């Protein structure tokens, strides 16, 4: 703990090794590129780690060649560092080499020869349909916020909204007669998302029996907190996590979990990938394609469990 506090109190330009090129790089990143202090600390730690490795090989930053850099990255992987960590350290090296490539052709040549490692694909956590039903059934009937909480859980699963998108919804964004909700997503991009009958019925019950009791002013937000203020993201995350624990689901559950379930269950039911992309508000279909991998894993698990020749 003491080491952590000392590390954070130290200036990001204050290096623990005698390497003028590293300090020159950090000054450039701070003055010319305006990087935040945390980012400067991260660059400093990664390059210091590289310098430690080179020092053991009796090498320096100015004398190291592409073999030294490759050996360093391989040593990171062999030492148990995750692909993400290795990729981050490679990114720091590339920033350094790009900066020094203007001084000599050696840095530029090393930069061209270094390959970026393939990042690990982090598959989202998915609940089964039965687990989703279990989660939505977790709020206790008769509680003051029962109708609100059920409506929130139903809408998250029915429409795949991000936490910020649900919190930002206004009353005018919901069209109950048509069964749609207007969502303002990332980059202020607007999209129209269908809302199922079950979710609509839950929202209508909330609007009739719960929201008027929470309302303290003429607030137009669809979902209100216990104090009558607009629902905030942290409150929404705590709400979903609470019902995840209460339902007995032994994994971390968040609003984004229900967004993942929305997409995966749609694709598993035969929905077109482009349609799911539009419903989620993804600008790039490669972001949506991860759900096809999730569904393939589920199909493989079912095949392994039930096929006679496993």
Instruction: Out of 162, 211, 260, 265, pick the active-site residue.
Output: 162
Least Cα distance to 134 among 241, 259, 248 occurs for 248
**Catalytic annotation on 162?**
yes
Instruction: Out of 28, 70, 242, 282, pick the active-site residue.
Output: 282
**Catalytic annotation on 81?**
no
**Catalytic annotation on 186?**
yes
Across the strands, what pairs with 190? 184
Nearest-10 Cα torsion for 209, 214, 217, 223 = -80
Instruction: Out of 70, 106, 256, 298, pick the active-site residue.
Output: 256
Least Cα distance to 293 among 117, 82, 130, 124 occurs for 124
Residue 134 CB-density burial (10 A; 0-12 exposed, 13-18 middle, 19+ buried): middle
CA angle 161, 184, 225 (to 5 degrees): 65
Instruction: Out of 41, 44, 211, 259, pick the active-site residue.
Output: 259
**Catalytic annotation on 211?**
no
**Catalytic annotation on 293?**
no
**Catalytic annotation on 298?**
no
Instruction: Out of 186, 189, 274, 293, pick the active-site residue.
Output: 186
Q: Which residues are catalytic?
A: 162, 186, 256, 259, 282, 291
């Amino acid at each position: 703990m003491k080491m952590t506090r000392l590390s954070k109190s130290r200036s990001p330009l204050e290096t623990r090794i005698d390497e003028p090129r590293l300090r020159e790089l950090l000054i450039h990143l701070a003055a010319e590129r305006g990087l935040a202090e945390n980012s400067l600390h991260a660059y400093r730690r990664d390059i210091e780690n590289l310098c430690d490795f080179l020092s053991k090989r009796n090498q320096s930053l100015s004398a190291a060649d592409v073999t030294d850099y490759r050996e360093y990255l391989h040593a990171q992987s062999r030492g148990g560092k995750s692909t993400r960590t290795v990729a981050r350290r490679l990114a720091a090296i590339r920033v350094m080499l790009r900066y020094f490539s203007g001084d000599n052709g050696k840095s530029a040549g090393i930069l061209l020869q270094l390959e970026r490692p393939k990042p690990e694909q982090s598959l989202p956590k998915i609940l089964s349909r039965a687990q989703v039903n279990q989660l939505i059934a977790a709020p206790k009937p008769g509680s003051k916020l029962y109708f609100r909480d059920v409506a929130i859980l139903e809408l998250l699963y029915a429409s795949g909204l991000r936490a910020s998108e649900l919190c930002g919804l206004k009353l005018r964004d919901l069209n109950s007669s048509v069964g749609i909700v207007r969502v303002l997503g990332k980059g202020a991009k607007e999209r129209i998302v269908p809302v199922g009958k079950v979710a609509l019925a839950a929202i209508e019950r909330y609007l009739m029996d719960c929201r008027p009791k929470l309302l303290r002013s003429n607030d137009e937000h669809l979902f209100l907190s216990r104090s009558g203020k607009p629902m905030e993201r942290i409150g929404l995350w705590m709400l979903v996590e609470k019902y995840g624990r209460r339902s007995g689901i032994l994994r971390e559950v968040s609003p984004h979990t229900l967004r993942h379930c929305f997409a995966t269950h749609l694709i598993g039911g035969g929905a077109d990938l482009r349609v799911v992309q539009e419903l989620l508000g993804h600008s790039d279909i490669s972001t949506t394609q991860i759900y096809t991998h999730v569904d393939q894993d589920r199909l493989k698990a079912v095949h392994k469990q039930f096929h006679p020749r496993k």
